[in-house]
Structure 1
Amino acid sequence: MTGHDAAYIERFLEMMAAESGAAINTLSAYRSDLEQAASLSNGPLCDSDRDSLQKLTSEWDDLKNSTVSRKSSALKRFFGFLVEEGFRDDDPSDALPRPGGSRNLPKILSHDEIESLFRTVESRLESESAKPNDVRLSALTELLYGSGLRASELVSLPRNSVVQDRPFLIIKGKGGKERLVPISDRARKAAEKWSDHVDEKSAYLFPSRTGHISRIRLFQIIKDLAKQAGINPKRLSPHVLRHAFATHLLEGGADLRALQTLLGHSDISTTQIYTHVDSKRLVELVNDRHPLSRKNLAR
């Protein structure tokens, strides 16, 4: 197993523990499956293409369907993590066997639940006992939902990344690639208020004693907010807020290409998982917009 694989597997397991609340036994099973796959892979597992995965999974021919399903699930989630975090541009996991399994849709937050979250944040800000960390919480949540940033992008934002009257952030990703991310007025103002509490010598907008706050700490902050807002913490994470950003934009009329750009997905197939709008809206869309709908024929 290469050093790159070992590092990515550790980061993946870290995410699983913090975001999904995976049990120790589950994490151990993921680690075992991923490390075994890495040892069998012809080259770094993290760089595998579809052909490499097909060759790798040919080793599973004699295994039970339940075992193949578990191994496939581990690899799918691993490659999904690599794409979502910007460590690679494409997801080759569609080459993996699917013995009766299907891809799970991300968790969904309703508009009412989003409003409840931000009412909780505003209540903390307006409290007589408000602290700087409440201002930080406001900036973190506004940026997650107002710009759809990845957790890793958010925690590592440079201190000077939010500029007054500039309606976008410049995010540097894998290989030094940069993309412009529009930032809502609310998010920009919240970030500006928080930056007043950050030492001017700090390299990061959300510093810690050793650099910037960790993704684990961000997960903890968001889950604590969920408890205060009366939402099951298992249903909320930084990625769920990023997903809510995309889903609610789609419901508001954004198209997939626009979402692809906003989310920083190199392959639009990665963006297509955000199309799980409710069936009622789809029916209304067909009835209102289809050229052969009764409404259009009546005209």
Structure 2
Amino acid sequence: MSKELEAFLEYILVTKTLSKKSVEAYKGDLLQLEEKFQKPLISLDTPTILSLLSEYKNKRTLNRKLSSINAFFDFCYKEEFLAEKTKIKSAKIPKLLPKFLSYEAIQSGLSMIDRSTWIGKRDYALILFLYASGARISECLELSLGDIDGEWLYIRHAKGQKERIVPLAQVAKDAIDEYLGELPFEKDFIWCNYKGGKLSRISAFKITQKYLGVSPHVLRHSYATSLIRGGADIRVVQELLGHSSLLTTQIYTHIQKQDLKDTVDVCHPMAKENL
């Protein structure tokens, strides 16, 4: 291993305080190049590096390795191991539409829940809440009783410490009230496991997987998709989801565009014509 690579690994471990797992990932990506060409990584030019990376057909894997390489070269430039800054452009990855469920699919899953027990009422209320609020599962599991005030939900444990207020559908509020009315524990938080402790992310995942076959985050996507399809303004959706950047929210506009295309393909007579 070259001295520059050793210095970089020490830097990201000690100064940047990256996890050992992350450091090992960087080490694996970068050491692969040095061992392949039997030269210090700092001496390799861009065409030589790309010749090895061309073996990777998966663009996400390619970009991960490029990220490691660019971080290393950036470090070398700042430490004056290199006279010129080198950066290799990442490969363009087509945006994937987020997975989501239709309202009918969610209703079908809800109908499978046995609501004769408080556990069943909890599962029913949890799924309704996630779909009605668009909350992240981490935000959901930190909710306390005082965070729901009438038809408003106060999300105080938001990503990036950005609190927000969103309206909560009455049907979800009613389901939560019914669940809490039979909860055999007195707690300040809302979502309990069978022992009376806080519901974990793993348990929440098992609940949505059991009845809907998806992770809790898909219900957040489903919430946003329903709003966009219903004609909601993209900036309103951004505010409801708590996205700091509109670019993050704009992925959902691709769904709207696909809906328009599908409508034209089905309804317009020229869509089926071959000229």
2:235 touches 2:246 (CA, 8 Å); kept in 1?
yes
Correspondence for 2:137 among 151, 158, 161: 151
Q: How does 1:5-16 map to 2 (within 5 A)?
A: 5-6=18-19
Give the counterpart of 2:117 among 119, 131, 135. 131
Q: Counterparts in 2 of 1:197-276, with a 5 A limit? A: 197=183, 199-200=185-186, 202-208=187-193, 211-226=197-212, 233=213, 236-275=214-253, 276=255
Secondary structure class of the residue paired with 1:172: coil
Shift of 1:174: 4.2
Letter in 1 for 2:127: T
Gaps of 5+ in 1: 10-30, 42-57, 76-94, 227-232, 286-299
The superposition leaves residues 203-260 of structure 1 with CA deviations (integer Å, 9 ceiling, x where unpaired) of 321134585211111111111112xxxxxx2xx2211111111101111110110110
**Larger Cα Rg: Structure 1 or Structure 2?**
2
Cα distance in 1 for partners of 2:60, 2:158 equals: 31
Letter in 1 for 2:189: Y
Distance 1:280 1:210 in 2: 44
CA distance in 2, matches of 1:222, 1:73: 32
**1:187 aligns with one of 149, 172, 176:** 172
The CA deviation at 1:167 is: 2.7
- Name the SS of the counterpart of 2:111 in structure 1: helix
Counterparts of 2:211 and 2:262 in 1: how far apart (Å)? Answer: 35
Identity over the aligned pairs, expressed in percent? Answer: 32
Residue of structure 1 equivalent to 2:37: none
Q: C-alpha offsets along residues 168-216 of structure 1, whole Å, 9 cap, x if unaligned?
A: 333332454311121111111111222221633x232113458521111
Which deviations, in whole Å up to 9, do the C-alpha atoms of 1:23-60 show, x marking residues without a partner? xxxxxxxx67x85249999xxxxxxxxxxxxxxxx896
Residue in 2 that maps onto 1:281: 260
Q: Deviations over 1:138-186 (max 9, x none)?
A: 11111110011101111121133223x2433333324543111211111
- Preserved contact between residue 143 and residue 187 of structure 1 (Cα < 8 Å): yes
Is 1:142 aligned with 2:137?
Answer: no
CA distance in 1, matches of 2:17, 2:203: 24
Report the equivalent of 2:53. 64
Kept in 1, the 8 Å contact 2:151–2:169? The answer is: no
- Contact kept, 8 Å, 2:59 with 2:91, in 1: the verdict is yes
Aligned to 1:21: none
Unpaired segments of 5 or more residues in structure 2? 1-12, 31-45, 66-87, 265-275
State how far apart, in whole Å, the 2-side matches of 1:154 and 1:178 are: 13
Query: Which of 144, 163, 184 does residue 178 from structure 1 map onto?
Result: 163
Judged with a 3 Å threshold, the aligned counterparts in structure 2 of structure 1 residues 268 and 64 are, in CA distance, closer, same or farther, namely same
1:195/1:258 CA distance change after superposition, 3 Å: same
Taking a change above 3 Å as real, the CA distance of residues 38 and 186 of structure 1, as seen in their structure-2 partners, is farther
Q: Deviations over 1:274-296 (max 9, x none)?
A: 121263435769xxxxxxxxxxx
Give me the CA root mean square deviation: 3.5
Deviates more, 1:133-142 or 1:211-220: 211-220
- The amino acid across from 1:258 in the alignment is V
CA distance in 1, matches of 2:257, 2:104: 15
Could you say what secondary structure the match of 2:155 adopts?
strand
Q: Which amino acid aligns with 2:144?
A: P
Q: TM-score, normalised by structure 2?
A: 0.64
